[in-house]
Chains A and B, each alone.
Chain A
Amino acid sequence: MSTALLQATTHEKKPSITKKKLLPYWLLAPGIIWLVIFFLVPIYQLISTSTQTQGYGIGTYVQTYRFSNFIDAITSSKAQLIRSFEYAFLATAFALIISYPLAYAVAFKSGRWKNTLLVLIVAPFFCSFLLRTVAWEQILGEQGLVIKFLRFAHIMGAQGHLTATPFAVVAGLTYNFLPFMTLPLYASLERIDIRMMEASGDLYANALTTFRKVTIPLSMPGVVAGTLLTFIPAAGDYINAELLGNPGTKMIGNVIEARYLEIVDYPGAAALSLILMVTILILVMAYVKRAGTEELV
């Protein structure tokens, strides 16, 4: 009886073996096609454009493998490139400082308010990024309450202003990417077993040592994820510098935007985009390696 059954199943299996082997690839196909169309093709396009030169007429380019495009791009926009990473670094640092206590409070101290607080953290996403930045322009602007208060309190003189300053750009970046920092931090803090902290206290560590030796190391996956999610888009952002900054606070995103849309220098813009991408990639790889969170994630 059982032998017959066994034979029946093996017999049934035989013709479908090749089909079975192919099945994973069929299941992966939509993803692969998506990646090819929306990632590989544009990347190829970008790389290819970056070494082209102006053809006859505006907006036409021919492939001449002019690698000095990269050198031109760097020399002409070095200041903005460095500034982008400076601002992104500052915004990431501020976001981390603001988010960690916030995420910690939501994860451990919020009790029944936990869900409400999480919704409030996500709430800004219900409104467009652009609109929110415009709103900040109003809030920090000449007619805004912040300026009025600062002048009233004599913290700022009559000539002082907040918009069109590096402060406003970094503040805008910090604000806009804050949820990207808070949510991964919250997720990794929330996963920490409360008994780890009890065990640490039991083993002679006071609250501060417990935080340093147990809570922070165990929340590292969230710190790494949050800082990456903040730093990467912040480094490439141009909206904040555009709306809250001045010509002296232009970031690399602004330069790329201008080259594409105003100067119509596609190769230059493509070269800058690639430089930005590769720099971020190298920084991120070095950072992840340094943080050494592979085992924890």
Chain B
Amino acid sequence: MVDASTSAHGDLTLKNLTKNFGDFIAVDDLDLVIPEGSFFALLGPSGCGKTTTLRMVAGLEEPTSGSIFIGNTDITYEKPYKRPVNTVFQNYALFPHLSIYENVAFGLRRRGVKDVDTQVQKALELVELTHLSSRKPNQLSGGQQQRIALARAIVNRPALLLLDEPLGALDLKLRRAMQIELKWIQTEVGITFVHVTHDQEEAMTMADTIAVMNEGKIEQMGSPADLYDDPRTAFVANFLGQSNLIKGLITDRADNSGIVDVFGTKLSLPTIRNHAHDSSVLLGIRPEKIRIAPAGAAMNGNILDGGVISDASYIGVSTQYQVEMPWGQELMVFEQNDDGTPPLAKGDPVVMSWEPIFTFGLAGDQDATAGSEANPDSE
């Protein structure tokens, strides 16, 4: 039963991977290396090609071109049942005619493993559902089914575990709990997890490395903090959290930081965070990094004056302001309610500032709203 490909292990490597459905390019010349043992997230809006990529790795979809390797073994055209890969499906796809025990034992029995019972018990212990082993899947809650789907995959000790929006069907509270549990289980078993999701919070909570996908390509890849603090494209800046992106012109370049002219105001931009290819730049700053005060207050750092509050919403931990700038753009500011000052009101003239180090610069020729319509947080 066990041959070269079923026992392959190592990094997952995708080389020039492409998948077309008719004229539609779902995955476009993708190159990617996922290190063995990492928790990797493919993050992107629906239709960005992340699920297609996952299905090609699982063997459920055949690539149009390119190749897939696990370690040094080429599995591009290998049958799904011969790959050392297991999947946690979006709606779990538990077998309704088999008990929980038999569901978990399914993969072991197919491979003719000897100590099925010990391994099934161990997997059920890992997800803390030993007491449900004789039930049928439809007698379990969504969260329990999710954990059984995980146990059914993990019990096989694959080189690679694929998770296709595994928490999508759960409610918010359960989702949060499962995020922590999944991360813990991954650390415990040490299997490479490749997690596909459109939920940026889910990806950031669990993954060591996130690849943000858009239109079949990877926009940017890095640790959650990298992606959030130093996005390289407007899509990433808007899809992962929210960003204020303001058009500007680089007027001065120094070793450590440059000066950007933003509608007449000079702002400082750290050189290492400047990703513009010429002097045209989209200057970015995250809403929670901005301090806000009534006009005329003393401020330091990067200062933007002349704004008027057009909307203020108090949401407990913070107050979210929309500030209309003289050039017509609305900027977002999230202000922690931690200093006892009364919140500012609609119509108040304000001054804003932030630490220059938080500023990032993106190429000025892109659409400043790219990715924001795909971000579920930004309606």
- Residues of chain A whose beta carbon lies under 8 Å from any beta carbon of chain B: 193, 195-196, 198-206, 209, 213-214, 217-218, 220, 295-296
In contact, A195 and B156 (Cβ under 8 angstroms): no
| B217, CB-defined interface residue at 8 Å | no
Query: Which of these, A193, A201, A213, A214, contacts B80 with CB under 8 Å?
Result: A201
In contact, A199 and B87 (Cβ under 8 angstroms): yes
Most chain-A Cβ atoms within 10 A of its Cβ — which of B60, B91, B111?
B60
In contact, A204 and B156 (Cβ under 8 angstroms): yes
Contacting residues, chain B, for A196 (C-beta < 8 A): 93, 95
Q: In the complex, what distance in Å separates the CA atom of A193 from the CA atom of B95?
A: 10
Q: In the complex, what distance in Å separates the CA atom of A196 from the CA atom of B79?
A: 16
Most chain-B Cβ atoms within 10 A of its Cβ — which of A199, A204, A217, A220?
A204
In contact, B91 and A195 (Cβ under 8 angstroms): yes
Interface string of B56-94 (1 = CB under 8 A from A): 001110000000000000000001111001110101011
In contact, A198 and B96 (Cβ under 8 angstroms): no
| B106, CB-defined interface residue at 8 Å | yes
Closest residue of B by beta carbon distance from A213: B106
Contacting residues, chain A, for B85 (C-beta < 8 A): 202
10 tightest CB-CB pairs across the interface, nearest first? A203-B107, A204-B110, A199-B93, A195-B93, A201-B80, A217-B97, A204-B81, A202-B87, A205-B110, A203-B106
In contact, B89 and A214 (Cβ under 8 angstroms): no
| B152, CB-defined interface residue at 8 Å | yes
In contact, B81 and A205 (Cβ under 8 angstroms): yes
Contacting residues, chain A, for B15 (C-beta < 8 A): none
Min Cβ gap A200→B in Å is 7
* Contact residues of A: prevailing secondary structure: helix
Contacting residues, chain B, for A220 (C-beta < 8 A): 97
Interface string of B122-156 (1 = CB under 8 A from A): 00000000000000100000000000000011001
Closest residue of A by beta carbon distance from B91: A195
In contact, B93 and A193 (Cβ under 8 angstroms): yes
Contacting residues, chain A, for B60 (C-beta < 8 A): 198, 201-202
Closest residue of A by beta carbon distance from B110: A204
* Contact residues of B: prevailing secondary structure: loop
Ordered by A's residue number, 12 sampled pairs between the chains whose C-beta atoms are within 8 Å are: A195-B89, A195-B93, A201-B79, A201-B80, A202-B59, A202-B60, A203-B107, A204-B6, A204-B110, A218-B96, A220-B97, A296-B96
Q: A205-B110, A209-B110 are in contact. Are A199 and B58 (CB under 8 A)?
A: no
Min Cβ gap A104→B in Å is 17
Q: A195-B91, A295-B136 are in contact. Are A202 and B86 (CB under 8 A)?
A: yes
Q: In the complex, what distance in Å separates the CA atom of A296 from the CA atom of B93?
A: 16
Closest residue of B by beta carbon distance from A216: B97
Min Cβ gap B154→A in Å is 12
In contact, A202 and B81 (Cβ under 8 angstroms): yes
How many pairs of residues, A versus B, come closer than 8 Å at their CB atoms?
65
Q: In the complex, what distance in Å separates the CA atom of A195 from the CA atom of B98?
A: 15
Q: In the complex, what distance in Å separates the CA atom of A217 from the CA atom of B79?
A: 23
Contacting residues, chain A, for B156 (C-beta < 8 A): 203-204
In contact, B89 and A296 (Cβ under 8 angstroms): no
Q: In the complex, what distance in Å separates the CA atom of A213 from the CA atom of B81?
A: 14
Contacting residues, chain A, for B87 (C-beta < 8 A): 198-199, 202
Closest residue of B by beta carbon distance from A214: B95
In contact, A296 and B97 (Cβ under 8 angstroms): yes
Min Cβ gap B326→A in Å is 53
Query: Which of these, A198, A204, A206, contacts B107 with CB under 8 Å?
Result: A204
In contact, A204 and B111 (Cβ under 8 angstroms): yes
Min Cβ gap A82→B in Å is 35
Min Cβ gap B37→A in Å is 21
5 other A-B residue contacts (CB within 8 Å) besides A199-B95, A203-B110, A203-B153: A198-B60, A202-B80, A204-B6, A218-B97, A220-B97
Q: In the complex, what distance in Å separates the CA atom of A205 from the CA atom of B1?
A: 11
Min Cβ gap B84→A in Å is 10
Contacting residues, chain A, for B110 (C-beta < 8 A): 203-205, 209
Contacting residues, chain B, for A198 (C-beta < 8 A): 58, 60, 80, 87, 89, 93
Q: In the complex, what distance in Å separates the CA atom of A64 from the CA atom of B60?
A: 72
Q: In the complex, what distance in Å separates the CA atom of A203 from the CA atom of B58?
A: 11
Contacting residues, chain A, for B58 (C-beta < 8 A): 198, 202
Contacting residues, chain B, for A296 (C-beta < 8 A): 96-97
Interface string of B250-280 (1 = CB under 8 A from A): 0000000000000000000000000000000
Q: In the complex, what distance in Å separates the CA atom of A193 from the CA atom of B92?
A: 11
Contacting residues, chain B, for A214 (C-beta < 8 A): 95
Q: In the complex, what distance in Å separates the CA atom of A205 from the CA atom of B111?
A: 8
Min Cβ gap B285→A in Å is 44
Contacting residues, chain B, for A201 (C-beta < 8 A): 59-60, 79-81
Contacting residues, chain A, for B136 (C-beta < 8 A): 295
Min Cβ gap B8→A in Å is 14
Contacting residues, chain A, for B86 (C-beta < 8 A): 202-203
Q: In the complex, what distance in Å separates the CA atom of A213 from the CA atom of B95?
A: 10
Contacting residues, chain B, for A217 (C-beta < 8 A): 97-98
Contacting residues, chain B, for A202 (C-beta < 8 A): 58-60, 80-81, 85-87, 153
Q: In the complex, what distance in Å separates the CA atom of A195 from the CA atom of B79?
A: 16
Query: Which of these, B82, B89, B97, B111, contacts A199 with CB under 8 Å?
Result: B89
Min Cβ gap A294→B in Å is 12
In contact, B106 and A200 (Cβ under 8 angstroms): yes
Contacting residues, chain B, for A209 (C-beta < 8 A): 110
Q: In the complex, what distance in Å separates the CA atom of A187 from the CA atom of B2?
A: 37
Q: In the complex, what distance in Å separates the CA atom of A195 from the CA atom of B97?
A: 14
Q: In the complex, what distance in Å separates the CA atom of A217 from the CA atom of B136?
A: 14
Closest residue of B by beta carbon distance from A295: B136
Min Cβ gap B92→A in Å is 9
In contact, A206 and B89 (Cβ under 8 angstroms): no
Q: In the complex, what distance in Å separates the CA atom of A201 from the CA atom of B80?
A: 6
List which B132-190 residues lie within 8 A (CB) of chain A: 136, 152-153, 156
